[in-house]
Amino acid sequence: MDSFEVIPTGGALGAEVRGLDLREELGGETVRVLRGAFLDHCVLFFRGQEISQEDLVRFTRYFGKPVPHVRPQPDRPIDEIFVISNVTEDGQPIGALGSEEIPFHSDLSYLPEPGTISLLYALEIPERGGETMWANGYASYDALDPGTKARIDGLSAVHRHPIDALNTPEPTMHPVVRTHPETGRKVIYVSPHLTHHIADMEREGGRALLDELIAHATDARFVWKHRWQVGDLLMWDNRCTMHRRTPFDDRQRRFMWRTQVFGAGTR
């Protein structure tokens, strides 16, 4: 097995992996240990990497099948790479998501089959801002009182993207309490960005419950912030976390490559 360390952040979730060069193929035992660490820590990050798009896609395959993002982008050499950037060339954006704040969300929860694992690699970052914060859905669920757990058990919520063209014709619903298919642990699965309302509840009461759950799930005790460096590769589990991006000055460049894995839905 390759020699490396997995070092927890000491925060609400996350761990740094040191000692691996992701330009190299990894052995089977190394991948097995990384998969276990990923399930334990929900977010893994690797610093100082100098990888190509091909390297990123190969590394992603250790954890699932990388697929092209559902949102369209200009033609690119490797379809599985999705560009996250505020940079424009000839008046046109070269990537997605700009420089504004992106509220807490779980990737692609507005689809019937949400994203499972996301990976993001930093090539250019702004001097200030643009940090990413993750919230631990396991910890926030575990911290609920028994009455609230009983109240939300069996409820579903409707998820929608703010850009209506990205939504499916029929409303997308997911359980408010999701069970991770690999760990069997329960998580709160609602977000301020993509959860529209709780199904089968009158709007006022449903809105109050949703606001209560979101405020709880994004409380500082469940959140960890990552300050990016060039060469960082982060991967996170959308089945048990949600994340947000802080805004940054649009005159500062931010350029990243992303890959996406689907599969292993709720149970």
Give the integer Cα–Cα distance in Å for 119 and 248. Answer: 21
CATH among 1.10.1240.10, 3.40.50.2300, 3.40.50.620, 3.60.130.10 for 5-90+115-128+226-239+249-262: 3.60.130.10
| 60-76 average pLDDT score | 88
Contact assessment for residue 182 and residue 35, using Cβ atoms and an 8 Å cutoff: no
Question: 93-131 pLDDT, tens per residue?
Answer: 999 999 999 999 999 999 999 999 999 999 999 999 999
List phi, psi (to 5°) of 237: -100, 110
State how far the Cα of 14 lies from the Cα of 44, in Å rounded to an integer. 6
Note the pLDDT tens digit of each residue in 239-252. Answer: 999 999 999 999 99
Confidence of residue 267 (pLDDT cuts 50, 70, 90): very low
pLDDT by residue (tens digit) across 70-99? Answer: 887 777 889 999 999 999 999 999 999 999
The mean per-residue pLDDT over the stretch 171-197 comes to 97
Tokens 């334990």 belong to residue: 40
Mean pLDDT value across residues 19-26 = 97
The confidence score (pLDDT) of residue 71 equals: 82
Q: Where are the domains of the chain?
A: 5-90+115-128+226-239+249-262
Q: Is the pLDDT assigned to residue 147 strictly greater than 60?
A: yes
Q: What integer pLDDT is reported at residue 265 of this predicted model? A: 43
- Cβ atoms of 99 and 131 within 8 Å: the answer is no
Rounded to the nearest integer, the mean pLDDT of the chain is 95
Residue 183 has pLDDT above 80, yes or no: yes
Mean pLDDT along residues 211-219: 98
Residue 33 carries which side chain, given as an amino acid letter? V
* 69: confidence class by pLDDT, cuts 50, 70, 90: confident
Q: In the prediction, which pLDDT does 263 show?
A: 78
Its pTM surpasses 0.85: yes
Confidence at residue 72, expressed as pLDDT on a 0 to 100 scale: 76
pLDDT of residue 75: 77
pLDDT at 266 (0 to 100): 36
Determine contact, residues 35/63, Cβ cutoff 8 Å. Answer: yes
Per-residue pLDDT at 1 exceeds 80: no
Averaged pLDDT for residues 145-166: 96
- Could you identify the residue written with the tokens 């099948």? 65
For 36-50, the pLDDT digits (tens) are 999 999 999 999 999
